[in-house]
Amino acid sequence: MIDADMLGLRRPSKQTFRAFTQLFMNVDEGRFPTLGGGSTSLYANRHDICALARPLGEDRLTSFLRKHYLLLFLERYPDLDSGLAYASTRRIAVAVGIINVLLAAAFLFGPICNLFYVNQ
């Protein structure tokens, strides 16, 4: 039963896996990796590990904002020497909600204004 639950867990996103490997393998610091010897490639494949929690609301607009405009949603830096930063999921959700409301209003009032100016 536990094995089935473990196999049902999702793999981490590409961005999370990249941050994990950079921090765990000490890529930016020039030091030796955390694991050495035969265990060096233990976490090298993204399909071999699982994420215990994934970000909610994986729609296209959320993932686009998270990928391209992440600097707008940074919350805090855990360590000045580390290259990791935390993005606020609440701020991203609020921005997605505002964009959705503005697009819905434009799609509603756009055709009405267009029909007002059409001559018959």
Over the stretch 19-34, which tens digit does the pLDDT of each residue have? 777 777 776 666 677 7
pTM of the model: 0.58
When pLDDT is averaged across residues 74-95 and rounded to a whole number, the result is: 78
Q: In the prediction, which pLDDT does 103 show?
A: 95
Q: In the prediction, which pLDDT does 22 show?
A: 78
Domain borders along the chain are 1-54, 56-120
pLDDT over threshold 60, residue 60: yes
Q: What is the rounded CA–CA span in Å between residue 53 and residue 36?
A: 28
Percent of the chain with pLDDT over 90: 15
Highest mean pLDDT among 35-39, 68-72, 101-105: 101-105
